[in-house]
């Protein structure tokens, strides 16, 4: 392994760590629980709309929202999996189903939605494999989202969505276009932007494309997965994945330890300061093998995997979104919640990972 100092000298980027782990405490162990499913997987609660649960986003003042790729809906749950009554329909694109993936919460005041003589802040926004971005505003329609960006004509396949606040206080949306191997950026009026950095990394091999995307502060984390022959879906495999860190203008600032534990990575979250031995680490969920890996936020070095009480890796097949709770509705801020599409994305689960 090339040490961090040497690699930084060669590339100007931090991507690995050094030092001995001999004196490190034993890694915290965790318990994974499925709290709601579509019925195919045993769970305390059942929701038939939970088909290939993908993106996860918390209302800071309420329940979690899950984007359901297989049912064209968004559904809400508390931390114990109790199904809430609100179901939001995601509209199709000009060419077919939206197939929602990523979801973000927006506090406003920009990213507005106006339809049918009503207007309001779009509280939740969704990207989809159909190439659209859709928005839900409670002041406009409680049970339907509306299309605000339709890139389906270009063949866009949006696998993820992130939201970030600029220095001026406005918002930007970042959508990972897996098919066209790029990141699309939109301002607070849904106008497409050209950012100076362009989200370029010449060290990403040909055939890999942006898969997941997450804003953490002023950093944009982009995961990369191998494309299939149609550049529509990922090809899982051990070591087949990368994670880059960019600034809001798409300039590369860091690489997390490449290959190794990564396998079609998608979900990204930063642990809080009370998450045991993984406190403050960057957690990356693998869609390919269902494991969750931790990386040092400063050096990018691989720290370890989340483990069960018996020391085996936590595994959730079809793992997509991961996010920490908001300390409301049985959603602790140091519990990691997740959505997944097991059985080759035919089914759906939502669950939680608690420290033991």
Q: Residue 23 has what pLDDT?
A: 54
> CB neighbours of 310 closer than 8 A, spacing ≥ 6?
none
Q: 321 vs 1, 66, 337, 349, CA distance in Å?
A: 30, 9, 8, 11
Radius of gyration of the chain (CA): 19
Tokens encoding 174: 């970042």
SS3 assignment, position 15: coil
Q: Is the peptide bond before 109 cis (omega within 30 degrees of 0)?
A: yes
Tokens 């984390």 belong to residue = 221
SS3 assignment, position 153: helix
What residues does 265 pair with on adjacent strands?
Answer: 286
CA distance 168 to 95: 36
Q: What is the DSSP letter of 215?
A: E
Whether 63 and 110 have beta carbons less than 8 Å apart is answered as no
SS3 assignment, position 322: strand
- CB-count burial class (<10 Å; 0-12, 13-18, 19+) for 165: middle
- Pick from 339, 234, 338, 336: which is nearest to 288 by CA? 234
Tokens encoding 13: 């980027």
Q: Residue 24 has what pLDDT?
A: 56
CA distance 269 to 249: 20
- CB-count burial class (<10 Å; 0-12, 13-18, 19+) for 167: exposed
> CB neighbours of 326 closer than 8 A, spacing ≥ 6?
58, 59, 60, 61, 333
- Pick from 155, 129, 120: which is nearest to 67 by CA? 129
C-alpha torsion angle, residues 190, 194, 197, 198 (rounded to 10): 90
> Which sign does the torsion angle of CA 119, 121, 123, 127 carry?
positive
What residues does 220 pair with on adjacent strands?
Answer: 215, 246
DSSP β-ladder status, 30-37 and 45-46 = parallel
Where do the structural domains in the chain lie, given as residue ranges? 195-315
Q: Residue 26 has what pLDDT?
A: 85
Q: What is the DSSP letter of 343?
A: H
**E strands present in 106-187:** 112-115, 118-121, 124-128, 132-136, 146-150, 158-165, 171-177, 182-186
Angle subtended at Cα 269 by Cα 226 and Cα 286, rounded to the nearest 5 degrees:
30
- Pick from 97, 93, 81: which is nearest to 42 by CA? 81
Identify the H or E element spanning 224.
strand 219-226
Tokens encoding 235: 């090809």
CA distance 129 to 354: 31
- Pick from 100, 148, 89: which is nearest to 128 by CA? 100
Question: 181: phi > 0 → left, psi -120 to 50 → alpha, else beta; which?
Answer: left
Number of C-beta neighbours around residue 93 at 10 A:
22
Q: What is the pTM assigned to this prediction?
A: 0.93
The pLDDT tens digits along the chain (356 residues) read: 333 333 333 233 444 444 334 455 689 999 999 999 999 999 999 999 999 999 999 999 999 999 999 999 999 999 999 999 999 999 999 999 999 999 999 999 999 999 999 999 999 999 999 999 999 999 999 999 999 999 999 999 999 999 999 999 999 999 999 999 999 999 999 999 999 999 999 999 999 999 999 999 999 999 999 999 999 999 999 999 999 999 999 999 999 987 789 999 999 999 999 999 999 999 999 999 999 999 999 999 999 999 999 999 999 999 999 999 999 999 999 999 999 999 999 999 999 999 99
């Amino acid at each position: 392994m090339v040490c961090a100092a040497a690699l930084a000298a060669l590339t100007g980027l931090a991507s690995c760590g050094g030092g001995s782990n001999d004196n490190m405490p034993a890694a915290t162990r965790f318990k994974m629980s499925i709290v709601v499913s579509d019925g195919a997987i045993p769970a305390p609660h059942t929701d038939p709309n939970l088909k290939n649960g993908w993106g996860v986003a918390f209302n800071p003042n309420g329940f979690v929202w899950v984007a359901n790729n297989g049912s064209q809906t968004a559904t809400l749950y508390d931390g114990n999996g109790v199904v809430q009554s609100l179901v939001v329909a995601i509209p199709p694109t000009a060419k077919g189903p939206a197939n929602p993936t990523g979801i973000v919460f927006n506090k406003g005041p920009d990213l507005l939605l106006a339809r049918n003589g009503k207007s309001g802040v779009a509280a939740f926004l969704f990207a989809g494999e159909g190439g659209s971005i859709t928005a839900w505003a409670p002041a406009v329609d409680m049970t339907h989202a509306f299309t605000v960006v339709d890139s389906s004509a270009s063949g866009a396949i949006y696998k993820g969505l992130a939201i970030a606040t600029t220095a001026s206080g406005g918002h930007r949306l970042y959508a990972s276009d897996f098919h066209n191997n790029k990141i699309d950026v939109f301002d607070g009026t849904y106008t497409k932007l050209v950012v100076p950095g362009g989200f370029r990394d010449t060290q990403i091999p040909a055939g890999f494309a942006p898969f997941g995307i997450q804003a953490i502060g002023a950093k944009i984390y982009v995961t990369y997965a191998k494309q299939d022959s149609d550049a529509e879906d990922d090809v899982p495999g051990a070591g087949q994945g990368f994670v880059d860190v960019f600034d809001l203008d798409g300039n590369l600032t860091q690489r997390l330890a490449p290959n190794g534990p990564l396998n079609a990575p998608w979900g990204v979250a930063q642990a809080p300061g009370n998450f045991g031995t993984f406190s403050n680490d960057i957690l990356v969920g693998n869609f390919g093998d269902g494991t969750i890996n931790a990386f040092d936020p400063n050096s990018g070095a691989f720290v370890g995997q989340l483990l069960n009480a018996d020391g085996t890796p936590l595994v959730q097949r079809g793992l997509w979104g991961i996010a920490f709770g908001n300390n409301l509705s049985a959603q602790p801020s140091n519990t990691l919640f997740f959505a997944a599409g097991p059985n080759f994305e035919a089914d759906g689960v939502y669950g939680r990972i608690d420290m033991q």
